[in-house]
């Protein structure tokens, strides 16, 4: 992976990336900070070479193990939703996958803690973090449904796989004032929610948009 071209050429060039930014703007992404990070993040290194020419299309793409790298619009929107209420020092991400969302979060927050249940995906993502010198991202192979108690509380938690109901553990690992951005629902359809912890046992939930994520699955794969 050390010989990858971070700048990109042809279909992964700066100009192609600029078209993606334009599209995200048209779709309502307004945060310049988020758009800047997406422009600067080489999405083509997060997917197989055979698909790299499609890296700057606004679409999810397969990354193996029946998983996908999230669509840029969704990554941008979830990041915006997490940061809208002000800066986050500590963020927990569940479902590292390719590491693309992790790489978008890292420059915008103090520290990212990211959990992935499939070991080979987690290891590849780790290599990408060091290639991009994102030293404030800490990755771990584990079942994210339990959160990361040793690092709690978090100012933000972002979940990129959908549980049928919001895991209680994640709510309890939010700092007061912290927010959880999470897709929720089963085969009948999922909704993206933002849940703010406003007090010890007080939560304020917003239901935002219909989304389609892979399911949150318990247990780990080596």
| Chain positions contacting ligand SAH, by CB under 6 A | 67-70, 94-95, 97-98, 100-101, 115-118, 121, 143-145, 160-161, 214, 216-218
What distances in angstroms separate CA 114 from CA 2, 26, 186, one per listed residue? 23, 30, 23
How many residues are given for the chain?
222
Decide whether 69 or 195 has the Cβ nearer to ligand SAH.
Answer: 69
The answer for residues whose C-beta is within 8 angstroms of residue 51's C-beta and 6 or more apart is 61, 62
Torsion-angle region of residue 33: left (phi > 0), alpha (psi -120 to 50) or beta? Answer: alpha
Which amino acids are annotated catalytic? 70
Decide whether 161 or 184 has the Cβ nearer to ligand SAH.
Answer: 161
Rounded Cα gap, residues 37 and 104, in angstroms = 6
Decide whether 136 or 142 has the Cβ nearer to ligand SAH.
Answer: 142
- Confirm if 97 and 158 have CB atoms less than 8 A apart: no
What distances in angstroms separate CA 172 from CA 116, 161, 217, one per listed residue? 20, 19, 20
Q: How far is the CB of 201 from ligand SAH (least distance, A)?
A: 25
Q: How far is the CB of 200 from ligand SAH (least distance, A)?
A: 26
Q: How far is the CB of 114 from ligand SAH (least distance, A)?
A: 9
Q: How far is the CB of 182 from ligand SAH (least distance, A)?
A: 12
Residue nearest to ligand SAH (CB): 97
Decide whether 78 or 174 has the Cβ nearer to ligand SAH.
Answer: 78
């Amino acid at each position: 992976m050390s010989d990858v071209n971070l700048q990109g050429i042809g279909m992964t060039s700066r100009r192609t990336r600029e078209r993606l930014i334009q599209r995200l703007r048209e779709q309502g992404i307004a945060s310049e900070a988020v758009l800047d990070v997406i422009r600067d993040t080489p999405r083509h290194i997060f997917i197989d070479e055979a698909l790299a020419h499609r890296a700057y299309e606004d679409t999810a793409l397969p990354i193996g193990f029946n998983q996908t790298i999230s669509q840029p619009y969704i990554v941008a929107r979830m990041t915006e939703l997490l940061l809208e209420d002000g800066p986050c020092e500590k963020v927990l991400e569940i479902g590292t996958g390719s590491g693309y969302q992790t790489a978008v979060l890292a420059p915008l927050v103090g520290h990212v803690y990211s959990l992935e249940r499939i070991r080979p995906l987690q290891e590849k993502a780790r290599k990408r973090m060091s290639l991009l010198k994102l030293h404030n991202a800490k990755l771990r192979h584990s079942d994210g449904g339990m959160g990361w108690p040793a690092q709690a509380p978090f100012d933000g938690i972002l979940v990129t796989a959908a549980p049928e109901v919001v895991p209680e553990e994640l709510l309890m690992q939010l700092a007061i004032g912290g927010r959880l951005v999470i897709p929720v629902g089963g085969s009948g359809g999922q909704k993206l929610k933002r849940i703010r912890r406003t007090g010890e046992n007080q939560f304020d939930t917003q239901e935002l948009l219909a989304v389609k994520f892979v399911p949150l699955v318990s247990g780990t794969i080596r």
